[in-house]
Amino acid sequence: MMAFMSDPRSRAAAFCDRFGIRVPILLAPMAGACPPSSSIAAMRAGGFGACAALLMQPKEIEDWAAEVRANVDGSFQINLWIPDPPPVPEDAGDIALPNFDEQCQALLRIAPAAVSSIMGLYPPPFVGELKSRRIPWFATATTVADAKKAEAAGADVIIAQGMEAGGHRGAFDAIKAEQQLVGLFALVPAIVDAVRIPVVAAGGIADGRGVAAALMLGASAAIMGTAFLRCPETKVHPAWADALANTTPERAILSRAFTGKPGRSIATDYARAALGADAPAPAPYPVQRGLTTPMRLEAQKTGDVQRMQAWAGQSAALARAESASIITKRVWSEAQALLPKTVVDRH
Ligand SMILES: Cc1cc2nc3c(=O)[nH]c(=O)nc-3n(C[C@H](O)[C@H](O)[C@H](O)COP(=O)(O)O)c2cc1C
């Protein structure tokens, strides 16, 4: 039977059983916006927690996992960006990224319910290490071609990231990212038909309508990022959290203005100016990140959202200032009310 023909509730239930959750909603990995507290709250409600470890040293990643495990039973993923080849020189831009191989070793020691990737594929030796420890690999893909590559490389789940998503695009080839902006309604069924592994939908999902739609399109679960940014447990700057409430879909815009890689943010004064016809072209990643660091740090101090790195997906205005536990429970109960009832075929 084609995957899309299977009943969405049964498909979601099978995903939950396999990955140790009660609700098919995953907190998105969000670098700089994933303290243990938001995962603890989402996991208490039966959802899947997340740590986006890009900027974290190995010890910090281990401390994150220990804190979450000390507070709640359940499942979480740890996420890394796949570095661009050739490796980023240590002195590029203003920031020195933690060592990727050492981060990978920390992930193996922690053995989370899933290790996830974005912007490429883990090197085969690391995939072998994951397999030998039975740690599932969730690979982000923004195109059908990338999803197929990830499946062939050993991924256990595809995270289908639609162009609606807040934060950075997960394109394997960042140079082509702007030419390959696929919306989630086209992306999920296309990837579901192209691979044999479960698909998790990400991008613009922020309430029960979005979760039910994702499951109807063939996904096994939904990821929400921006929807959790206003939670008290997520602890983002209040100016950013408040601005999300007034961000219409067309005011969540894609630019390379903050880091040199394309990402979706609130259309702040800075992001709009950087997209202007007379604006200088952004430097490559991570040099642009280094160049914007002083402005972003100053904005954090002064509370000036117009100069903050205020990531936002296109459904930002649906984000509510509620606990991540309440959001997880509410969104799943809204989705269940919309999903067709399971019909037990007795023949
Ligand atoms: C603040 C922020 C930071 C993010 N950082 C990461 C990251 O480090 N790794 C990753 O795989 N995805 C990252 N993402 C993308 C999310 O994992 C997810 O794909 C996205 O939030 C889904 O779209 P939504 O925001 O509309 O729910 C980030 C998103 C946001 C909003």
Mean pLDDT of the chain: 94
In angstroms, the CA 231 to CA 74 distance is 20
Which tops the pLDDT comparison, 90 or 113? 113
CATH for 3-236+319-338, options being 3.40.50.10800, 3.20.20.70, 3.40.710.10, 3.30.2310.20: 3.20.20.70
Which of ligand 1's atoms lies nearest the C-alpha of 81? 9
Interacting residues of 152 by C-beta distance below 8 A, sequence separation 6+: none
Band (95; pLDDT cuts 50, 70, 90): low
Q: What pLDDT score was predicted for residue 43?
A: 98
Q: How many CB atoms lie within 10 A of CB 298?
A: 12
Instruction: Note whether 319 and 226 are within 8 A (CB).
Output: yes
Would you say 203 and 313 are in contact if contact means Cβ atoms under 8 Å apart?
yes
Q: Token match 């972003």: residue? A: 296
User: What is the tens place of the pLDDT at every residue in 128-184?
Assistant: 999 999 999 999 999 999 999 999 999 999 999 999 999 999 999 988 899 999 999
Q: Is the CB of 140 under 6 A from ligand 1?
A: yes
**Distance from the Cα of residue 208 to its chain's centroid:** 18
| 304/310 Cα distance (integer angstroms) | 10
Residues found in the chain: 347
pLDDT, residue 89, reads 54
Tell me how crowded residue 283 is: count the other CB atoms within 10 A of its CB: 17
Six token digits for residue 4: 């899309």
What is the C-alpha to C-alpha distance for residues 286 and 126, in angstroms, rounded to an integer? Answer: 24
How far apart are the CA of 77 and the centre of ligand 1, in A? 13
Find the 33 Cα to ligand 1 centroid distance in Å.
9
Beta-carbon contacts of residue 270 (< 8 Å; ≥ 6 apart): 257, 295, 306, 307
Tokens of 129: 């290490």
Best of 25, 30, 320 for a ligand 1 pocket test (most atoms within 8 Å of beta carbon): 30
What value does the mean pLDDT take over residues 76-90?
80
Among 76, 164, 168, 205, the mutation site with the greatest number of ligand 1 atoms within 8 A of its Cβ is: 168
